[in-house]
């Protein structure tokens, strides 16, 4: 399973790109609105300079023609742009039209396996089931990821399953176990997922022991 960052914050993207684990980025209008002072195009182009992988940019039109127009415009910004459209009949129509022009799509706001099936039949490159928002209304969000993976595998549908609306570190593990191709993770959740107190303690102890050892050998301790 690949890890994408769910953010439009350039500093966060730069930081995680440095870790060597980042394969792409997803944005949405809410995330974009937090990036004051930059146009949509400038944000997407800047991200494309940092990350060599799919970068999702979301349309805001409600009709198919509007989504297709926006999608065409976004696709010119960079070859890695993937156009986000909602899980609606108009969205699936836009998926089909954009695919015919060679533009990849990410069907977002997916809350059921039926919606995921229809996105794949229309020719979506990525489907984004929203896990956390279903959990918020007392449903099992990860079940939609499991069902979607099962249906796609059973029917040889090539659409990638991207677990979205990830809220905590265990969601990442569950998405990987469910067979999701990608999890898109907010920066704070990713940061929490990197930490383990025993790793910090282990580094501290090894460093302390090495200092004693290197004193004996009259060497300098290794700087971490
Ligand atoms: O990118 C869309 C998605 O990941 C949103 O997450 O936390 O707003 O439900 P959230």
When pLDDT is averaged across residues 187-209 and rounded to a whole number, the result is 96
Sequence-distant (6+) residues with CB within 8 A of 108 are 28, 56, 58, 84, 85, 86, 87, 128, 130, 164
pLDDT for residue 170: 98
**Whether residue 184 has its Cβ less than 6 Å from ligand 1:** yes
Q: Respond yes or no: is residue 84 known to be catalytic.
A: yes
pLDDT-derived band at 212 (thresholds 50, 70, 90) equals confident
**Whether residue 132 has its Cβ less than 6 Å from ligand 1:** yes
Sequence-distant (6+) residues with CB within 8 A of 6 are 25, 26, 27, 31, 164, 166, 184, 185, 186
pLDDT tens digits, one per residue of 20-60 = 999 999 999 999 999 878 999 999 999 999 999 999 999 99
The pTM of the full predicted model, rounded to 2 decimals, is: 0.94
Identify which of 6, 82, 131 to mutate to test ligand 1's pocket (most ligand atoms within 8 A of the CB).
Answer: 6
Distance 142 CA to ligand 1 centre (A): 14
Distance 27 CA to ligand 1 centre (A): 9
pLDDT tens digits, one per residue of 138-173 = 999 999 999 999 999 999 999 999 999 999 999 999
Identify which of 133, 136, 141, 180 to mutate to test ligand 1's pocket (most ligand atoms within 8 A of the CB).
Answer: 133
pLDDT at 176 over 60: yes
Complete DSSP assignment for 171-190? HHHHHHHHT-SEEEE-HHHH
Beta strands in the chain (DSSP E): 2-6, 22-26, 55-58, 81-86, 105-110, 126-129, 160-163, 182-185
Residue of minimum CA distance from atom 3 in ligand 1: 165
Residue of minimum CA distance from atom 6 in ligand 1: 165
Q: How many other C-beta atoms can be found within 10 angstroms of the C-beta atom of residue 124?
A: 30
Residue of minimum CA distance from atom 10 in ligand 1: 165
Distance 164 CA to ligand 1 centre (A): 6
Closest CA to 26 of 52, 49, 58, 50: 58
Closest CA to 148 of 182, 97, 198: 182
Q: Which residue has the tokens 């979506």?
A: 124
Distance 56 CA to ligand 1 centre (A): 13
């Amino acid at each position: 399973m690949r890890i994408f960052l769910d953010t439009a914050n350039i500093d966060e993207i730069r930081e995680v790109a440095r870790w060597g684990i980042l394969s792409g980025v997803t944005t949405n209008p809410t995330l974009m609105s937090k990036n004051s002072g930059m146009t949509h195009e400038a944000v997407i182009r800047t991200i494309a300079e940092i990350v060599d992988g799919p970068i999702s940019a979301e349309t805001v039109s409600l009709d198919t023609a509007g989504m297709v127009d926006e999608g065409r415009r976004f696709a010119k910004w960079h070859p890695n742009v993937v156009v986000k459209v909602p899980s609606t009949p108009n969205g699936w129509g836009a998926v089909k039209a954009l695919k015919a022009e060679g533009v990849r799509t990410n069907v977002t706001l997916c809350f059921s396996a039926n919606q995921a099936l229809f996105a794949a039949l229309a020719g979506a490159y990525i489907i984004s089931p929203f896990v956390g928002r279903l959990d918020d209304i007392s449903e099992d969000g990860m079940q939609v990821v499991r069902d979607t993976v099962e249906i796609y595998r059973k029917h040889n549908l090539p659409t990638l399953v991207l677990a979205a609306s990830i809220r905590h570190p265990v969601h990442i593990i569950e998405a990987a176990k469910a067979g999701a191709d990608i999890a898109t993770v907010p920066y704070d959740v990713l940061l929490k997922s990197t930490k383990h107190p025993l790793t910090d303690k282990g580094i501290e102890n090894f460093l302390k022991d090495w200092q004693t050892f290197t004193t004996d050998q009259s060497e300098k301790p290794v700087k971490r």
